[in-house]
Structure 1
């Protein structure tokens, strides 16, 4: 009898988890309140950039995930628009230069052969970059992918292995007994399982609060501009040093709601449009776009690439990154409860970490050693309170249909 698992959430992390579970032979049901990639995974950019990751456990995961991406199109039998074109982090001030020198040194010690290059060499690698730029990092192995294509391809591949997918089906609660999760409620319908994986990004805390679990994931809004179609000219993904600085800020308790956190992230899609970000704001679940942020992102883009001065922006959109206090995702069980697991909190690293996160969770949810030390990503690192969980002798009954 195969292990029965419910995955709540149809974004990159949820579909990846469902795929690797189904591939391993588990009986999988993926439940999504809207559609595949209808949330954060459908409102982000395309970058698989390792040099933007902080050295340590997250970078280690990203390296393994990047290796999985190289063969994923063939494995999923789908066009993911995967391209390994390299990546740059551009530098505008001497202060940024010093910060990037330190970051490059740490990246190199971590095994990523990132180089710091001059402004002149940066312009040779990417014609059109501003002559005002002092320099840039460069790493040839950074890549990009279409996150929508990945999410849908993962879901379809999971179905080919026998997974069931329930769209327009919101998980409204859990079936629990003696601090054990036995399944989920979906608008009155009860689904039982041996394990439930909650991969709902910024909405994860709202669901788990129902069973007394406080998950420290906070929405961090980011805005992206979409340009008119242009002839291909952008050869790699480009971030600015200010983008990295804003990403690494962990000060949500002190950041005012009007702090924009603007830094440049730009890439060109297969259709020729530019995706130009981004911003970072703690404004709850508000996904409205801001004219002020549109203007500031546009100014950052034109500073870096003056040729964009007269390029038209055809639309803007925003998404909610699942921020955690230490900048790392939560992967694994909830200590003090049986049968429930979290795979969320990737913030801006969801695209890069999706394959490895799904592969890890597929093993962990079935009680198999993932072969990777995931203790740095454990929920217990936050010492969060679980109502009623303390001092309970857990004795889970066998789920019944």
Structure 2
């Protein structure tokens, strides 16, 4: 952990993919930058993902545009930072079970293409070819986007942090923010630092950080859990990340299947949720019926009211924010860093 300086021009709070991207872009633009992370780098929401970056987001071409911009940056990441991401194409598929879902895709398709998103409508038979575990009789059609890649989120965080430090930024881990004074003095257990500008990229803790500074950030943490299914009896050679309308998503994880479907509802026990997930899994993917689901990992996403990111500046004080990515921060981190840098520099 670096020693906390007495003051800085820009103080970034949060050391996940968003915060390290912002710190890197600011430092490379010549801005004196300090990053504070409450734990270790990437230990928050960035460490509780399915490790996939993609460009297609149903009914959300704006996010798709930022993701497409970010995807280009990820393909150039190793050259820029010296850190390889191990990108491997897996593809991303969204299943449609109702005619209205297909109609919405068609209405949104032109906007997606204009945003630079490569996605097309495929038949149920083609969807089953792309995902051999799928029972094509359970769907009407699917959206298929080849621009989805497995990656290593810790490498993204590590690469951005190293590039930020190379450009002069100071990175302080194990430094949770405990208070923010009206003059911009930020307190941590290791001491305090006077910041001319504060940038909140604290993920699920952003609302708390905002409250300390007297800034309301309308977002709430959303718990999520990912499970690992035992290897299926029917081996698979390829398996894209696949999203069902119930929010159930699966992808290959070595010889296993990674499964997610949010968390139990408020009135639902974990056991009832697991049973509901298992039933849906067995219906959509017959080869996985009755398969054992084991604990994978849990975490919280910083969810905004409408599921899209909040990137901006408070009009009354030098407090910037990039939060509320609702689980899509990994896909947008490079673009978010660029946008926050340009906003900071008045561009």
1:143 equivalent among 131, 136, 149: 149
Contact 1:234 1:267 in 2 (8 A): no
Tell me if 1:60 matches 2:40.
no
Cα separation, partners in 2 of 1:290 and 1:15, compared to 1, 3 Å:
farther
Greater CA drift, 42-51 or 346-355: 42-51
Q: Distance in 2 between matches of 1:281 and 1:200?
A: 25
Matches of 1:34 and 1:300 in 2, distance apart?
36
Match of 1:388 in 2: none
- Hey, what does 2:171 align to over in structure 1? 165
After TM superposition, the structure 1 stretch with the greater mean CA deviation from structure 2, 158-167 or 114-123, is: 158-167
Superposition map of 1:1-400 within 5 A: 4-104=9-109, 106-108=111-113, 110-132=115-137, 133-177=139-183, 181=184, 183-187=185-189, 189-228=191-230, 233-240=237-244, 242=245, 262-269=246-253, 271-279=254-262, 290-309=270-289, 311-338=291-318, 340-365=319-344, 367-369=345-347
Are the aligned partners of 2:22 and 2:337 in contact in 1 as well (CA < 8 Å)?
yes
Secondary structure of residue in 1 paired with 2:181: strand
Measure the CA separation in 2 of the matches of 1:10 and 1:118: 42
Rounded to whole Å, the distance in 2 between the matches of 1:101 and 1:148 is 36
Q: CA deviation at 1:279?
A: 1.6
Alpha-carbon distance between aligned partners in 2 of 1:222 and 1:332, rounded to the nearest angstrom: 26
Deviation per CA, 1:270-321: give whole Å up to 9, x if none.
x4443211226787xxxxx933333333333333322223544332333222
Q: Separation in 2 of the partners of 1:131 and 1:344?
A: 38
Q: How far is the alpha carbon of 1:69 from its aligned partner?
A: 1.5
Task: Please give the per-residue CA displacement for 1:209-247, whole angstroms capped at 9, x wherever unaligned.
Answer: 12322210112222211234677633422112x1xxxxx
Deviation (angstroms), 1:84? 3.0
- 1:256-280 CA-partner distances (Å, limit 9, x unpaired): xxxxxx52212224x4443211226
Distance in 2 of aligned mates of 1:166 and 1:76 = 20
Point out the more displaced range, 229-238 or 168-177.
Answer: 229-238
Contact 1:83 1:144 in 2 (8 A): yes
Which runs of no fewer than 5 residues in structure 2 stay unpaired? 1-7
Unaligned runs of 5+ in 1: 243-261, 284-288, 370-401
Structure 1 residues 136 and 9, CA, compared in 2 at 3 Å: closer, same or farther? same
Q: CA deviation at 1:174?
A: 1.7
Q: CA RMSD in A?
A: 2.8
Distance of aligned partners of 1:218 and 1:79 in 2 relative to their CA distance in 1, 3 Å threshold: same
TM-score, normalization by structure 2: 0.86
Cα distance, 1:51–1:78 mapped onto 2, change above 3 Å: same
Which structure is higher in strand share? 2
